[in-house]
Amino acid sequence: MQDMGKVHSDSLDALLSENARLNSQLNQFKQMLDAMPAMLYTSNNDKKSITWCNRTLTDTMGYTLDEIKEMGMAFFQEILHPEDFGVAMVARNEFSNNKEIFGGILRVKGRHDKNWKWLVGLGIPYTHDDSGSLSEVICVFLDFSFVIDTSSQISEALREVLRRSNEDVLNKLTAREKDIFILAAQGNNNKEIAQTLNLSRYTIETHRKNIRLKLKVRNTSELVALAKQIGFQ
């Protein structure tokens, strides 16, 4: 009986030791998350409301986690630049359509901030419900001013990323639309493009409208700027 009691005591001691070890690891992990120089959070994708965040986010934005949870989507409406709030809605829709990762740059202003901060962020699906539908996403955002120590590399990286992104967009154009895009970027008007390609002016106008829609540019100036980024000038 004494041996059985000793075995029981040893087992209990082992469980307590393992529990202490796990608690220590958990606390260390929490401290690491809070100390990270990036804002981390999970959010309900349908409601667009934060369910958890690290201390960096609460300290940076000036809201407690309880306040953020209570505000729901209004938190994003409060901190995001009016022109950038649509990015959050696009991300929600993209994740609902099974997108595996969504990234971008946007502006935020904390409760006590006077100026907007530029953030670069990434989000991925995190949890799913019993039916397999997406429940939560996990996101990380970094204040762009934190990476100013490598400004020349940042400039080059942004140019490269934009060039590749714009090339992908350009691939949406038909061969004829690409011809017109290049000629328009070179400063040719509709009449000159029509003469060069032996097409009617009306046809050129229709193509240019489609090009603007596909490339999401509003006018010739933006089209020329896009062409310059891609290297078509």
Distance CA 48, CA 88 (A): 8
List, in order of start, the domains of the chain with CATH numbers: 37-148 (3.30.450.20), 172-230 (1.10.10.10)
Distance CA 143, CA 111 (A): 16
pTM, two decimals, is: 0.66
Question: Residue 231 — very low, low, confident or very high, per pLDDT cuts 50/70/90?
Answer: low
pLDDT digits (tens, 9 = 90+) for 76-133: 999 999 988 888 888 888 888 888 999 888 999 999 999 999 999 999 999 999 988 8
Structure tokens at 103: 């990234």
Phi and psi at 188, nearest 5°, equal -75, 140
pLDDT digits (tens, 9 = 90+) for 219-228: 888 888 777 7
pLDDT digits (tens, 9 = 90+) for 139-188: 999 998 777 777 778 778 877 877 777 677 778 899 999 899 989 988 89
Q: In this model, does residue 13 exceed pLDDT 90? A: no
pLDDT of 46: 87
Mean pLDDT computed over 192-213: 92
Count of other CB atoms within 10 angstroms of residue 7: 10
